[in-house]
Chains A and B, each alone.
Chain A
Amino acid sequence: EIVLTQSPGTLSLSPGERATLSCRASQSVSSSSLAWYQQKPGQAPRLLIYGASSRATGIPDRFSGSGSGTDFTLTISRLEPEDFAVYHCQQYGSSPRTFGQGTKVEIK
């Protein structure tokens, strides 16, 4: 089973700042099969990125994904007030599909 480790656990930033979130896999993720989701309190997760770098429908271009192999990054270029949330990564290249433990982006 591929274990995904997200860092940092919590990121404290101000609106307008750049956020860089990491997702590291215990083994190589095949075909860059990695997705990122955003989850706000009391809501279901929402798909942001799939295939490591492809934005889902309707996702603003301030969200970008990069990486391959075992190291992946989600970057939010300039934080908007609505971007403060928990972010989860998921690998779907190997069975069982697994999630990271999440990174919380909070207002500083």
Chain B
Amino acid sequence: EVQLAESGGGLVQPGGSLRLSCVASGFTFSSYTMHWVRQAPGKGLEYVSAISSNGGSTFYANSVKGRFTVSRDNSKNTVYLQVGSLRAEDMAMFYCGSGNGGFLEYWGQGTLVAVSS
């Protein structure tokens, strides 16, 4: 059974940073592109970032470019999203997902990032 488990969210002040983690199991992690999607409270989904199976290629939405960094450790079946210079508008549930086709075949349950002073 495919499982994705995010962690690392929490309350942070504006300008602060967090490292989100997503641990995968039930599939060959090193063969799959991993994605991050966020959802602000009561809003729709926003595609944030992606990293290729070997980590050699990354993508960032314009809204987070230069502030967020995606990485992965295939030996630990884990993908990370370092989120920095956080703003009020970054407050959201962050989901990781797996999928090679550009869509998210499997999703984790999410980790909540709250930004407030």
Do B103 and A35 touch across chains, with their CB atoms under 8 A apart?
yes
A46–B105 alpha-carbon span in the complex (Å): 8
Q: Is the interface of A mostly helix, strand, loop or mixed?
A: loop
Interface residues on B, range: 20 to 34
B40 → A minimal CB distance (Å): 12
B45 near A45 with CB under 8 A, answer yes
| Nearest CB in chain B: distance from A47 CB, A | 6
- What is the bound-complex CA distance between A45 and B37, given in angstroms? 10
- Bound Cα distance from A98 to B61, whole angstroms: 10
Q: Is the CB of B103 within 8 A of A99?
A: no
B95 — which chain A residues lie within 8 A by C-beta? Answer: 44-45
B46 in complex: contacting residue of A43, A51, A92, A99, CB < 8 Å? A99
Report the separation of the CA atoms of residues A46 and B95 in the bound assembly, to the nearest whole angstrom.
12
Residues of A close to B29: CB separation below 8 A: none
A90 touches B47 (CB 8 A): yes
Q: Known: A44-B109, A44-B110. Is A92-B101 also a contact (CB below 8 A)? A: yes
Cβ of B102 < 8 Å from any Cβ of A? Answer: yes
Contacts of B44 in A (CB 8 A): 88, 99-102
Asked whether A88 and B45 contact (CB < 8 A) given A44-B95, A96-B61, the answer is yes
CB distance from B17 to the nearest CB of A (A): 23
**By the criterion CB–CB under 8 Å, are A45 and B102 in contact?**
no
- Measured CB to CB, the closest approach of chain A to B36, in angstroms, equals 11
| B45, B59, B107, most chain A CB atoms within 10 A | B45
User: Across the interface, do A99 and B45 meet the contact criterion of CB distance under 8 Å?
Assistant: yes
Question: Is B23 among interface residues, defined by CB-CB distance under 8 A?
Answer: no
Q: Are B105 and A99 in contact (CB under 8 A)?
A: no
Which residues does A use to contact B, with CB under 8 Å?
Answer: 33, 35, 37, 43-47, 50-51, 56, 88, 90, 92-93, 95-102
Additional A-B contact list (20), CB under 8 Å, known A92-B103, A99-B46: A35-B103, A37-B104, A44-B108, A45-B37, A45-B45, A45-B104, A45-B107, A46-B107, A47-B99, A47-B105, A47-B107, A50-B101, A50-B103, A56-B105, A88-B45, A90-B45, A96-B62, A98-B47, A99-B47, A102-B45
